[in-house]
Amino acid sequence: MFPSTLTEFWLTPSTTSRVIHEDDAFSVLVDTVLDEDERLTILTTTDGRTRVLLTSAVATTMGLEDGQPVDEADFRQRLEKSGISLHGADNLFYFTDEARETLLGEPDDPSIRPLTEADADMFGQFEAAASEQDRDDAFVELDHWAVYGAFDDGRLVCAASMYPWNDTPLADLGVLTLPPYRGKGHARRLVRAISRHALARGYEPQYRCQLDNHASVAAAGSAGLTRFGTWDIVSPDSAV
């Protein structure tokens, strides 16, 4: 269903990891090369399976040992007792194999084009017309790896940008539409156009949004993306 690039990245254990616990529904792996800001990550796929990656230091803090039986409820209790807080899960959306074929066969809409530094003034006006909260949520930047814009009567009304995510074959994308122009299909067309750009360069488009961002969830579905699961990491404010 999903490209093997995705399933191998998310579900295949790396050579630097070892299993503490594994069953059909829940697994915990210690990885020796996790970055400090990802010293604990939790992936739950849509089939209900949860996979935890953590450093040996975090495992020790939680009292987890190799071969020790642990289910997800027990793990969550240990997490709370250890004082480790989480950032808050994001939805992960990707194109399935079938959706990718359809996507690649489409031409870009004439109202969409790449944006460059030559568009800096126009992009600045676009940002000024959006709320600070919308800008923070979307994280669309003109200096990202790829940036596309959608225009309505010559005005930039929707922008999307991408960047390679954590040295992986995934390209993380964000999209922002000005409020008066929402619900007109701009985000859908734009996400599909910038996703074609990524796929042509060997990257899998990745669409992330918080669980309670219902408008963003709807936009992902409209663009033809399918929910792969949720992903959470340790909070940057966590003391442990």
Output the tens digit of pLDDT for each of the chain's 240 residues: 999 999 999 999 999 999 999 999 999 999 989 999 999 999 999 999 999 999 999 999 999 988 778 899 999 999 999 999 999 999 999 999 999 999 999 998 999 999 999 999 999 999 999 999 999 999 999 999 999 999 999 999 999 999 999 889 999 999 999 999 999 999 999 999 999 999 999 999 999 999 999 989 999 999 999 999 999 999 987 777
**For the chain, what's the residue count?**
240
Residues 129, 206 share a domain: yes
Q: Please report where in the chains the tokens 């009304």 appear, as a residue.
A: 157
pLDDT at 78: 94
Residues 128, 80 share a domain: no
Residues 140, 190 share a domain: yes
Residues 200, 104 share a domain: yes
pLDDT at 167: 84
**62 φ/ψ sector (left φ>0, alpha ψ -120 to 50, else beta):** alpha
Residues 85, 104 share a domain: no
For the chain, helix, strand, coil in percent to 5 are: 35, 30, 35
CA-CA distance, 64 to 193, in Å (whole number)?
Answer: 45
Residues 147, 36 share a domain: no
Residues 111, 39 share a domain: no
Whether residue 47 lies inside any domain: the answer is: yes
Residues 205, 108 share a domain: yes
Residues 52, 9 share a domain: yes
Which run of H or E residues covers position 209?
strand 204-210
Token pair for residue 65?
A: 């040992």
pLDDT at 3: 95
Cα angle vertex 129, ends 128, 135, to 5°?
70
pLDDT at 236: 85
Expressed as residue numbers, the domain containing 191 is 96-224
Total domains in the chain come to 2
Whether residue 31 lies inside any domain: the answer is: yes
